[in-house]
């Protein structure tokens, strides 16, 4: 996959993460946007996620973006790239809850500071864009046995998704098995990406029935084409067929090394990975 040079300044509202069906670059927005990536095992969810992280890598390196990751599968999915992350929670207990509490605290603080001053957050090294990556968002709370923690995690996720975009807190969430639980969340993600899925009904759950009527037949994407997906965007009736860049393990190592973030944190909240956060 092509890696932008560290001297490049990526446009966080037009991030190049692959190719559209017509041959033009697949550009997606990260700043001021939540993104939902759905796909069966081996469909290329990791490729989409890492294409995004690679594309915004120079901004991570320069301190304009911080990436906080929640990987409820023990770090299996994202552990290889941990050097790129300012926070990394790979359990479903206190580490995940603390990360979400800190993200919510940043959201509330920014909302208070921006009220009456600006309608939109502008990333800076003092106030970077916060990208919260959540692997398996639909099953995140399913791994949590403590009812109080589960309820608070759900409340905090809801806060980030409903109020985060305007204050520079974006969520990139992945889901393997879309279900009815995703329907309520779907409306909170302006960008919805559906890779290969196992059932016809799942595409409608992620993209909406209209998208399927316009040809988003995700269950017909061959196993041999990981990274191929259909994209639906709020405000557009168009459904676009795309393919994300192919990302190897070596690419992830290069990305994490080339774009390692600066040590300083968000108001003392996000400067390092620690304990079960790393």
**Contact between residue 231 and residue 242 where contact means Cβ atoms under 8 Å apart:** yes
Q: Which two tokens stand for residue 152?
A: 């608070």
Q: Is 215 annotated as a binding residue?
A: no
Q: Is 40 annotated as a binding residue?
A: yes
Nearest in space to 139 (alpha carbons), one of 185, 193, 82: 185
Q: Is 45 annotated as a binding residue?
A: yes
Q: Is 41 annotated as a binding residue?
A: yes
Cα(89)–Cα(260) distance, integer angstroms: 18
Q: Is 39 annotated as a binding residue?
A: yes
**Contact between residue 27 and residue 167 where contact means Cβ atoms under 8 Å apart:** no
Cα(31)–Cα(19) distance, integer angstroms: 20
3-state secondary structure 9-66: CCCCCCEEEEEECCCCEEEECCCCCCEEEECCCCCCHHHHHHHHHHHCHHHHHCCCEE
Q: Is 124 annotated as a binding residue?
A: no
Extract the annotated binding site. Answer: 39-46
Extract the annotated binding site for ATP. Answer: 39-46
């Amino acid at each position: 996959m092509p890696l932008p040079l560290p001297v490049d300044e990526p446009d966080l509202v037009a991030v190049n993460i692959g190719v559209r069906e017509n041959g033009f670059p697949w550009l997606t927005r990260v700043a001021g946007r939540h993104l939902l990536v759905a796909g069966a095992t081996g469909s290329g969810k990791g490729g989409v996620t890492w294409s995004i992280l690679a594309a915004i890598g120079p901004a991570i390196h320069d301190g304009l973006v911080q990436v906080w990751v929640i990987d409820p599968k023990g770090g299996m999915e994202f552990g290889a790239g941990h050097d790129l992350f300012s926070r990394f929670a790979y359990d479903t207990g206190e580490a995940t809850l603390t990360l979400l509490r800190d993200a919510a605290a940043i959201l509330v603080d920014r909302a208070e500071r921006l009220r009456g001053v600006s309608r939109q957050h502008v990333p800076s090294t003092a106030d970077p864009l916060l990208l919260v990556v959540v692997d398996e968002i639909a099953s995140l709370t399913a791994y949590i046995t403590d009812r109080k923690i589960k309820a608070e995690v759900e409340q905090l996720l809801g806060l980030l998704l409903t109020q985060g975009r305007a204050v520079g807190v974006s969520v990139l969430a992945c889901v393997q098995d879309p279900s009815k639980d995703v329907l309520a969340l779907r409306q909170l993600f302006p960008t919805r990406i559906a890779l290969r899925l196992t059932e016809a009904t799942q595409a409608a759950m992620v993209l909406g029935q209209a998208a399927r009527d316009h040809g988003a037949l995700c269950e017909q994407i061959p196993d041999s084409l990981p990274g191929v997906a259909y994209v639906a965007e709020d405000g557009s009736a168009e459904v676009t067929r795309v393919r994300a860049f192919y990302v190897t393990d070596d690419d992830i190592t290069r990305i994490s090394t080339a774009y390692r973030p600066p040590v300083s944190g968000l108001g003392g909240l996000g400067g390092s990975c620690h304990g079960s956060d790393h």
